Amino acid sequence: MEKNYVNVDGTRIELAGEKNLLEVIRKAGIDLPTFCYHSELSVYGACRMCICEVEGRGLQPTCSTPPEPGMVVRTNTQKTMRIRKMALELLLANHHGNCQTCDKNTNCRLQSLAEKLGVKNVRFSNGNKTMPIDDANKSLVRDPNKCILCGDCVRMCKEVQGIGVLDFTGRGSTVRVSPAFGKGLNEVECVYCGQCATCCPTGALTVKSEVDKVWNAIYDPEKVVVVQVAPAVRVAVGEAFGVLDGELAMGKTTAAMRRIGFNRVYDTSFTADLTTMEEGTEFLKRLETGEKLPQFTSCCPGWVKFAEQFYPEFVNNLSSCKSPQQMFGSLAKKYLPKELEVKPENLMVVSVMPCTAKKFEAARPEFSKDGIRDVDVVLTTQELVKMIGQAGIIFAEVPPESMDMPFGFKTGAGIIFGASGGVAEAVLRLATSHEGQPNRSYEFHAVRGLDGVKEVEVVLNGETVRLAVVNGLANTRELLEKIKSGESKYDIVEVMSCRGGCIGGGGQPYPNNMEDRERRKNAIYDCDRVQALHNAKDNPFVQQVYRDWLKTPNSPAAHQLLHTHYKHRRRLTGEVIDVQEGTAGEKVQVSVCIGTCCYSNGSYDTMRKLMDIAEERGYADLIDFKASFCFENCDKGPNVEVNGMVHGHVTPDKVDEFIENIIEPAIDKAKALA
């Protein structure tokens, strides 16, 4: 039996499938410090903070050392403590510290470990030049001066989200984490999901704050400021104040926002109910005609941007419904000015969302009219918590209050939008209900949970409907490839960018790990159960909206106000890159797109083969090869431009044919003109 144990600081710890020594040590009740270790990502082993002494082996990084029976581990020897402090000092020396004004102040792991390990002085100077802050996008701020090169954001973006907009560049002392070619996040294929910020241990990646903009509007006597609160916020905002009951926290949040100065407080769950009506009706119509299937949900702006960039062939399969946030903005800007007796330009609509991509969504040109946005400002849960703190409100002591009507009333179907599977379940509740009859078995447990992909079959009107629920964009990419190849076939697919859905959005409070998301998920369904109504069609105020304004779901009036369209999207902007030396002169100009869609279809191999064949055939000096980033022809990639004309589907296996039919005639023409 002794062989089943590891000895950690004199305590026997039984092995039970732990994947590394670090997990065994934490099982022993020892919180060994780490920066680069994230239990949901691959092991990187760079920071060396988790180093320990293993008998017979010396110093070992525990995150990358598998446990073996009989190991004797000492975690806090004089040597390990000295090494940890030294490593921390070096990190602090390379870190531009302005802790008092940093958005991660009190939530920074570097800050907390410096206090925990008793590091009072840093003996090394910071020789790094201050680099510009990347804050040109709507959602995130990237401060490279605060990066400690832990690689968590790199692995999160690659492994969990399957995008990879961040990576290590440079060598030695010049190593940095950066988007491709030193671009800003707004210039590359970032979808603004914010998952990089959820795992960043310092202030290198943070939410872009719009708190001051909201305060200025509240202080403006000409403005009427209304706010909508998303379902996933209700189970997260109270975490910062020790109130974990979702409905109680929502009541206290409503009261706090009124004290802050918001004129009306509404619930995005109301327009989630409206979204269910519109999207459910749209799906049943598509199912009847067999067109544009599978239908993909369009509530998640990170997913929508991902589809526009990486899978433009599925853009027409997206539901045309706006997200609940944008539906609320459309309704508010059209109908509230009259009700609240305010000029339209003086009505400010603020959203409180769990999601950083919602900031990007609200700024999309599709969601503004005559220069006036439907949603003026998006705050994350983190920002609302900050505003409550700035106002000096003692959250736990505030009596709960109810939201304003009519947009403050919701059913349980609207609330569950905040968890992965919630949109699909809301549509299923609608589709399986019968007019005039309550749906007593309203819960569909098969679509719930934090699994990356869930598949369900249900019978609607005697027909089997295949449904998939996916969260995390790497899982989404894998699912889409199966759909493209014909391996999988579905009728409706719910997609959420973040693991667990909106409960794990990039703007949620720290910590934001899977354990916290599990707790928030359970709280979401608890909130659903205590509601009087659980089906979107039973919301009396939604029925009133149709009676007074929209007539029926998917009516022309509903389409004008609540629906939108999507498009192919450029992923990387900027200059063309020369891939060979020399001047163009009378050369044939050949540009190969290495943007995301083309690259994933083999454009790099196409370019390499074009150059190799040109070299073999002796006319490489007659061609000016360049790499470009987008010809807005994504569904026909790889794309190659020859003398200004774009040619699609130039895959590596078609390069010989392409050279003979397109490039060589262009060379002959250039020679003739010369």
299 as an active site residue: the answer is yes
CATH code (residue 36): 3.10.20.740
Alpha-carbon distances, residue 141 vs 10, 164, 192, 660 (angstroms): 45, 17, 11, 48
pLDDT at 584: 43
632 as an active site residue: the answer is no
Domain-embedded: residue 85: no
Looking at residues 227-252, what average pLDDT do you find?
90
587 as an active site residue: the answer is no
pLDDT at 144: 92
- Co-location of 519 and 602 in the same domain: no
- Spot the catalytic one: 239, 361, 383, 425: 361
- Co-location of 491 and 346 in the same domain: yes
518 as an active site residue: the answer is no
- Spot the catalytic one: 40, 288, 291, 366: 366
- Co-location of 536 and 439 in the same domain: yes
Q: Which of 332, 330, 327 is nearest to 262 (CA)?
A: 332
Residue 49 pLDDT > 90:
no
- Co-location of 344 and 239 in the same domain: yes
Looking at residues 194-223, what average pLDDT do you find?
94
d(CA 609, CA 542): 59
CATH code (residue 193): 3.30.70.20
- Co-location of 618 and 558 in the same domain: no
- Co-location of 55 and 140 in the same domain: no
502 as an active site residue: the answer is yes
CB crowding 378-403: b at 16 or more within 10 Å, else e? bbbbbbbbbbbeeeebebeebebbeb
Looking at residues 12-41, what average pLDDT do you find?
89
CATH code (residue 623): 3.40.30.10
Q: What's the pLDDT tens digit per position in 280-297?
A: 999 999 998 988 999 999
- Co-location of 123 and 259 in the same domain: no
Residue 221 pLDDT > 50:
yes
- Co-location of 408 and 421 in the same domain: yes
pLDDT at 441: 66
Q: Domain end: 187, 207, 227, which one?
A: 207
d(CA 430, CA 536): 7
13 token code pair: 């710890």
Which segments of 499-602 does DSSP mark as H helices, in order? 514-529, 540-545, 556-562, 596-600
Q: Give CA torsion, residues 428, 267, 349, 257, to 10 deg.
A: -150
For 613-674, list the strands marked E by DSSP: 623-628, 640-642, 645-647
Judging by beta carbons within 10 Å of its beta carbon (0-12, 13-18, 19+), is residue 638 exposed, middle or buried? buried
Domain-embedded: residue 146: yes
478 as an active site residue: the answer is no
Residue 461 pLDDT > 70:
yes
Q: Supply the DSSP symbol for 396.
A: G
Residues ≥6 apart with Cβ < 8 Å to 624: 580, 582, 584, 587, 588, 589, 590
- Spot the catalytic one: 47, 502, 593, 634: 502
Domain containing 610 equals 577-673
Q: Domain end: 562, 591, 626, which one?
A: 562
Residue 47 pLDDT > 60:
yes
- Co-location of 638 and 604 in the same domain: yes
Residue 302 pLDDT > 90:
yes
Q: Domain end: 189, 207, 225, which one?
A: 207
Instruction: With residue 465 as reference, give the H or E element that holds it.
Output: strand 463-471
> Could you give the percent of the chain with pLDDT greater than 90?
61
- Spot the catalytic one: 147, 196, 299, 597: 299
Q: What's the pLDDT tens digit per position in 329-381?
A: 999 999 999 999 999 999 999 999 999 999 999 999 899 888 889 999 999 99
Predicted confidence band of residue 45 (pLDDT cuts 50, 70, 90)? confident
Residue 75 pLDDT > 90:
yes
Higher pLDDT, 333 or 620: 333
Residue 435 pLDDT > 60:
no
Domain-embedded: residue 194: yes
- Co-location of 145 and 256 in the same domain: no
- Co-location of 419 and 327 in the same domain: yes
Q: What total of structural domains would you count in the chain? A: 4
pLDDT at 398: 93
Residues ≥6 apart with Cβ < 8 Å to 441: none
d(CA 220, CA 377): 15
Domain-embedded: residue 635: yes
Domain-embedded: residue 83: no
Domain-embedded: residue 593: yes
Q: What share of the chain is helix, strand, coil (3-state, %, to 5)?
A: 45, 15, 40
- Spot the catalytic one: 279, 308, 494, 641: 279
* 3-class SS of residue 592: strand
- Co-location of 297 and 418 in the same domain: yes
CATH code (residue 477): 3.40.50.1780
Domain-embedded: residue 82: no
401 as an active site residue: the answer is no
Q: What's the pLDDT tens digit per position in 370-387?
A: 888 999 999 999 999 999
Residue 604 pLDDT > 70:
yes
Q: Supply the DSSP symbol for 434.
A: B
d(CA 42, CA 80): 24
473 token code pair: 């964009």
Q: What's the pLDDT tens digit per position in 563-584?
A: 998 887 755 555 555 555 444 4
What phi and psi, each to the nearest 5 degrees, are found at residue 576? -75, 145
Domain-embedded: residue 572: no
